[in-house]
Amino acid sequence: MSLIVQKYGGTSVGDPDRIRNVARRVVETAAAGHQVVVCVSAMSGETNALVALADELGGERPDAREVDVLLATGEQKTIALLAMAIKRLGREARSFTGGQMGMRTDRDHTRARIQDIDTVALRAVLDGGGVAVIAGFQGVDADGNITTLGRGGSDTSAVAVACALQADVCEIYTDVDGVFTTDPNLVPAAHKLERVSYEEMLEMASLGAKVLQIRSVKFAMRYGVPIHVRSSFKPDEGTWVVREEEVMERLVVSGVTYNRNEAKVRIKGVKDQPGVAGRLFTPLSDAGIVVDMIVQNLSSDGSTDMTFTVPVAEHDRALDIANQVAGEIGAAGVESDEKIAKVSIVGLGMQDHAGVAARMFRVLADEGINIQLISTSEIKVSVVIEEKYTELAVRALHSAFVESGAQEPRAEA
């Protein structure tokens, strides 16, 4: 007997028929002898409708505490409906709001962080043979105020509960078959990964493969709970996200990802002196702008160009701040570009081998693609290129690294 946490997103519970499908799947799992916790999101469309109401009544900045009270109704609706549907199939079930399941968070409304989960009530239902149906995305603070976890909160709820219950697996049901080596819409040769490490998944998730929320992967990594990303609509196995040592198939590169939703801002001719970076990035951070890549190169004359990327939606605000700072520090000027794409290769295999980056640059050069920025981490190399070359770059890199099945250290490094 295993303890399985299943998480179904908004699309999987989007209408009564789909909720019935989820109920059947849960009952089948329970009938196979497992203890089951099901974590659900709001029905698709529900959260957006509630946000629209909040904007209408609360104005530009609706009160955050009340936004959470409002949004929490979305998941509360789903847990009640799913618990009913499961009971109707003859299996005992009980719903839990964030408060009822002991999901304690800090007080940071609309983006609270989980502090603690008191699993006594959940355990009691599971030990009695029942299915626990829990609301994702929500919790309560120490005073009983309703909080929500922000974007991707339901994945995080599911994984956090799986960790707290020491579950055997946290299954994330989604509308894709698993985690792919790259976007199958761009590259027909893309294939599903059977296993991928937490570390690779983190890099892929943050780089734009929107299968799993990054916060939930961090949680699972910390507590060592396996995640199984799989299809709501098919019984097939999906992709297991596990510890590095459990990933058998050691490809040098596990995936190729891309992101077309960033813009690039460059401050030219910055005098190299201590504190310049802080003067730029402090006001950006204060403005709530999420900066992704930061690249700086010192030139021999002692001045430098400082380039960073931000979400396209933040481009104008970021540019304003950059212009102001550039004036203050006497830089030569500011440029920006929204027509860029970030393309990355991710793989545990590359951390042992120099030369993967070099090979990546050569593959792109062979296609005539100019590289504007480069940024690397232990298990990933990212480049920024002109947006119109995105597909070409992704296909060439997938072909060179993934389809070739490169598994050995390469001498050309």
Least distance from a second copy to the Cβ atom of residue 109, Å = 12
Least distance from a second copy to the Cβ atom of residue 79, Å = 7
Lookup: tokens for 103: 């999901």
Q: Closest CB to a second copy among 90 and 368?
A: 90
Q: Closest CB to a second copy among 53 and 332?
A: 53
Least distance from a second copy to the Cβ atom of residue 375, Å = 41
Least distance from a second copy to the Cβ atom of residue 136, Å = 15
Q: Closest CB to a second copy among 11 and 296?
A: 11
Phi, psi of 9 (to 5 degrees): -80, 180
Which positions ≥6 away from 226 have C-beta within 8 Å? 168, 169, 170, 220, 240, 241, 242, 246
Q: Closest CB to a second copy among 140 and 190?
A: 140
Nearest CA-CA partner of 244 in 202, 198, 192: 198
Under rule CB under 8 A, which residues in 352-371 are in contact with a second copy? none
Q: Closest CB to a second copy among 126 and 322?
A: 126
Nearest CA-CA partner of 402 in 207, 222, 182: 182
Q: Closest CB to a second copy among 75 and 171?
A: 75
3-state secondary structure of 318: helix
Least distance from a second copy to the Cβ atom of residue 54, Å = 6
Q: Closest CB to a second copy among 62 and 355?
A: 62
Q: Closest CB to a second copy among 20 and 268?
A: 20
Count residues contacting a second copy (CB under 8 A)? Answer: 38
Least distance from a second copy to the Cβ atom of residue 83, Å = 5
Under rule CB under 8 A, which residues in 73-112 are in contact with a second copy? 73, 76-77, 79-85, 87-88, 94-95, 97, 99-100
Least distance from a second copy to the Cβ atom of residue 30, Å = 16
> How far is C-alpha 140 from the chain's CA centre?
23
- Which amino acid is present at 321? I
Rg (CA), the chain: 23
Q: Closest CB to a second copy among 51 and 371?
A: 51
- Which amino acid is present at 151? R
Under rule CB under 8 A, which residues in 13-32 are in contact with a second copy? 16, 19-20
Q: Are 370 and 386 in contact (CB under 8 A)?
A: yes
User: From residue 128 to residue 167, what is the string marking binding to a second copy with x (rule CB under 8 A)?
Assistant: ----------------xxx---------------------
Q: Are 157 and 149 in contact (CB under 8 A)?
A: yes
User: From residue 51 to residue 70, what is the string marking binding to a second copy with x (rule CB under 8 A)?
Assistant: --xx-xxxx--xx-xxx-xx
Instruction: List, in sequence order, every residue forming a beta bridge with 102; answer none if it has no partner.
Output: none
> How far is C-alpha 354 from the chain's CA centre?
28
- How many Å apart are CA 107 and CA 146, to the nearest integer? 9
Lookup: tokens for 16: 């009564």
The phi-psi region of residue 395 (left if phi > 0; otherwise alpha if psi is between -120 and 50; otherwise beta) is alpha
Under rule CB under 8 A, which residues in 256-275 are in contact with a second copy? none
- How many Å apart are CA 336 and CA 348, to the nearest integer? 33
326 vs 12, 118, 135, 286, 413, CA distance in Å?
48, 51, 47, 17, 40
Question: Footprint of a second copy on this chain (CB under 8 A)?
Answer: 16, 19-20, 50, 53-54, 56-59, 62-63, 65-67, 69-70, 72-73, 76-77, 79-85, 87-88, 94-95, 97, 99-100, 144-146
